[in-house]
């Protein structure tokens, strides 16, 4: 665990107790049963807004607390522990797009509402089954009032709930080219925007969204192309890695408890050396992942030049670790771990969904290597 400032410790402790009390794993089960389509509980989200979580990475000038990415990561880690559902990650990523690429007017219009949680934001980037920011094809063409957007986005996290979509579009060039990308702010109620709710294995809210000649004003464009998109994505990735670290930590601790109590062959199964070594290896992976996640978040706060590299490292290691731990959680629980009644399956499903979102391990290993010219 990183060395925290006093305000960070307080934030983390507050998040921990709120999450444990107000949003235990049972809350996700309830949402799953409801099938409301948003993927989170609006009342819980209002509370998070009141606690200021949506403003942690938003400048004080625009109504946030400006505590930074490491601080927000602490909150998400705690939420990850119970698989707590909320649009906090997506909203904070949208806020990052504004903070990094918005004009003063754009910021003044949107950031205070995002900071208070009144407006839910989301990133609309990918257009196929795999994360591929370079392959954007959705077209943005000049129109009388500004721009016309035509195309479709897939797997938009919290896309059903979003009031404000940050949409990556192509103003020129061909899919695969680095130049010609612009981010647009698109209100969720824009005409021609159609959403299809996705029922995912991990019960997280997501949508496919089509843009059938959606008109936006001239000032809907943010300043900065693929570079801006990459910076925004890196913030989403680092937050997701923090959340995954929390989920993996909880999955590990639950499994460890089981190892200490389940008896077979007259022994607590945690006394079997083969399981002990596997548990120890999970601990090693968790600690390495924690170091990478905290370093990535700190690098974003410091705007360090190697932040992108550290984010890919963090997302990869959090992914590998959660992958391993969620598999071992099922296996070490044996039959009971295969039942829907037990939480193991929930962590397993979340693991794969979180791995795939914003680039899986293979994507980030490749990106890490490319960033090092390898």
Partner 1 sequence: MADFGASDLDAFRTEVREWLAANYPPELRDGGAPTDPEAIWGGRRFEGSDDPQIVWMRRVAERGWTAPSWPKEYGGAGLSREQARIIEKELAAGGYRVPLASFGVWMLGPVLLEYASEEQKREHLPKIVRGEIRWCQGYSEPGAGSDLASLQTRCEDAGEHWKINGQKVWTSYADKADWCFCLVRTDTSKKHEGISFVLIDMSSPGVETRPIRLISGESPFCETFFNDVLVPKNNLVGRVNGGWDIAKRLLQYERQNISGGFGAGGGAGGVAGDLAQVAKDYVGTDEEGRLEDADLRARITRNKMDVHALQLTMARIAAEQKASNGPSAVTSIVKYAAASFAQERSELMVEAMGSQGLGWSGEGFSPDELRATRGWLRSKGNSIEGGTSEVNLNVIAKRVLGLPDPK
Closest Cα partner for 53 from 110, 14, 109? 14
- Residue 166, SS3? strand
Q: What residue 200 binds from partner 1, a copy of itself, none (CB within 5 to 8 A, per partner kind)?
A: partner 1
Which residue, 143 or 291, has its beta carbon nearer to partner 1?
Answer: 291
* Residues between 274 and 313 that touch a copy of itself (CB under 8 A): 274, 276-277
d(CA 7, CA 262): 40
d(CA 239, CA 296): 9
Q: What residue 288 binds from partner 1, a copy of itself, none (CB within 5 to 8 A, per partner kind)?
A: partner 1
The string over 218-235, giving b where at least 16 C-beta atoms fall within 10 Å of a residue's C-beta and e elsewhere, is eebbbebbbebbbbbbbb
Pairing relationship of beta strands 193-197 and 267-268 according to DSSP bridges = unpaired
Shortest gap between Cβ of 278 and a copy of itself (angstroms)?
A: 9
Give the ranges where 54-138 is alpha helix by DSSP (H): 69-81, 88-101, 104-116
- Per the CB < 8 A criterion, the answer to whether 71 and 6 are in contact is no
Query: Segment near a copy of itself (CB under 8 A), from 35-43, 170-178, 272-280, 344-352?
Result: 272-280
Which residue, 262 or 342, has its beta carbon nearer to a copy of itself?
Answer: 262
CA 278 to centroid of chain Cα atoms: 28
Shortest gap between Cβ of 145 and partner 1 (angstroms)?
A: 32
Binds a copy of itself by CB under 8 A, chosen from 116, 272, 342, 371: 272
Which residue, 142 or 281, has its beta carbon nearer to partner 1?
Answer: 281
Pairing relationship of beta strands 121-124 and 164-170 according to DSSP bridges = parallel
Q: Does the footprint of partner 1 cover residue 248 (CB under 8 A)?
A: no
Q: What residue 292 binds from partner 1, a copy of itself, none (CB within 5 to 8 A, per partner kind)?
A: partner 1
Q: Does the footprint of partner 1 cover residue 210 (CB under 8 A)?
A: no
- Per the CB < 8 A criterion, the answer to whether 98 and 232 are in contact is no
Size of the site for a copy of itself (CB under 8 A): 5
Q: Does the footprint of partner 1 cover residue 217 (CB under 8 A)?
A: no
- What does the per-residue mask of binding to partner 1 show for 334-373, with x meaning CB under 8 A? xx-xxxxx--xx--xx--xx--xx--x-xx-xx-xxx-xx
- Per the CB < 8 A criterion, the answer to whether 152 and 211 are in contact is yes
Binds partner 1 by CB under 8 A, chosen from 104, 174, 265, 303: 265
- Per the CB < 8 A criterion, the answer to whether 171 and 146 are in contact is no
Q: Does the footprint of partner 1 cover residue 261 (CB under 8 A)?
A: no
Q: Does the footprint of partner 1 cover residue 259 (CB under 8 A)?
A: yes
Q: How far is CA 169 from CA 105, 172, 204, 266, in A?
A: 21, 9, 25, 62
Structure tokens at 239: 């937050």
Q: Does the footprint of a copy of itself cover residue 327 (CB under 8 A)?
A: no
d(CA 115, CA 121): 11
Shortest gap between Cβ of 267 and a copy of itself (angstroms)?
A: 11
Please identify which residue in the block is written with the tokens 């496919």. Answer: 208
Shortest gap between Cβ of 276 and a copy of itself (angstroms)?
A: 7
Structure tokens at 138: 């959705």
Q: Does the footprint of a copy of itself cover residue 273 (CB under 8 A)?
A: yes
Shortest gap between Cβ of 332 and a copy of itself (angstroms)?
A: 14
Work out the widest C-alpha separation in the chain, in whole angstroms. 78
Q: What residue 316 binds from a copy of itself, partner 1, none (CB within 5 to 8 A, per partner kind)?
A: partner 1
Structure tokens at 183: 């981010």
Q: Does the footprint of a copy of itself cover residue 267 (CB under 8 A)?
A: no
Q: Does the footprint of partner 1 cover residue 130 (CB under 8 A)?
A: yes
CA 302 to centroid of chain Cα atoms: 20
Structure tokens at 190: 């824009």
Shortest gap between Cβ of 277 and a copy of itself (angstroms)?
A: 4
- What does the per-residue mask of binding to partner 1 show for 3-42, with x meaning CB under 8 A? x---------------------------------------
Residues lying near a copy of itself in the complex (CB under 8 A): 272-274, 276-277
């Amino acid at each position: 665990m990183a060395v925290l400032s006093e305000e960070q410790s307080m934030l983390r402790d507050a998040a921990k107790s709120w999450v444990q009390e107000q949003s235990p794993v049972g809350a996700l089960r309830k949402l799953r049963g409801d099938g409301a389509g948003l993927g989170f509980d609006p009342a819980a989200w209002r509370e998070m807004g009141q606690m200021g979580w949506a403003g942690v990475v938003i400048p004080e000038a625009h109504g946030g607390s400006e505590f930074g990415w490491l601080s927000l990561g602490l909150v998400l880690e705690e939420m990850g522990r119970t698989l707590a559902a909320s649009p906090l990650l997506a909203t904070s990523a949208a806020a990052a797009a504004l903070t990094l690429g918005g004009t003063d007017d754009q910021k003044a219009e949107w950031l205070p509402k995002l900071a208070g949680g009144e407006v839910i934001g989301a990133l609309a980037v990918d257009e196929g089954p795999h994360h591929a920011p370079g392959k954007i094809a959705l077209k943005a063409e000049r129109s009388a009032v500004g721009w016309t957007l035509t195309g479709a986005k897939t797997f938009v996290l919290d896309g059903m709930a979003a009031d404000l979509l940050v949409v990556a579009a192509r103003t020129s060039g061909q899919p695969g080219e680095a130049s010609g990308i612009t981010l647009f702010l698109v209100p969720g109620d824009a005409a021609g925007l159609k959403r299809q709710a996705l029922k995912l294995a991990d019960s997280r809210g997501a949508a496919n969204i089509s843009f059938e000649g959606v008109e936006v004003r001239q000032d809907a464009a943010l300043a900065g192309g693929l570079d801006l998109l990459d910076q925004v994505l890196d913030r989403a990735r680092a937050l997701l890695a923090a959340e995954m670290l929390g989920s993996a930590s909880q999955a590990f601790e639950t499994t460890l408890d089981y190892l200490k109590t389940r008896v077979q062959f007259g022994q607590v199964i945690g006394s079997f050396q083969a399981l002990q070594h596997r548990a120890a290896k999970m601990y090693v992976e968790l600690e390495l992942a924690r170091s990478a996640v905290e370093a990535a978040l700190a690098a974003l706060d410091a705007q360090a030049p190697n932040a992108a590299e550290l984010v890919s490292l963090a997302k990869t290691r959090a992914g590998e670790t959660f992958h391993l731990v969620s598999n071992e959680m099922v296996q070490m629980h044996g039959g009971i771990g295969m039942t829907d009644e037990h939480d193991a399956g929930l962590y397993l499903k979340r693991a794969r969904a979180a791995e795939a979102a914003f680039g899986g391990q293979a994507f980030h290993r490749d990106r890490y290597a490319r960033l090092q010219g390898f």
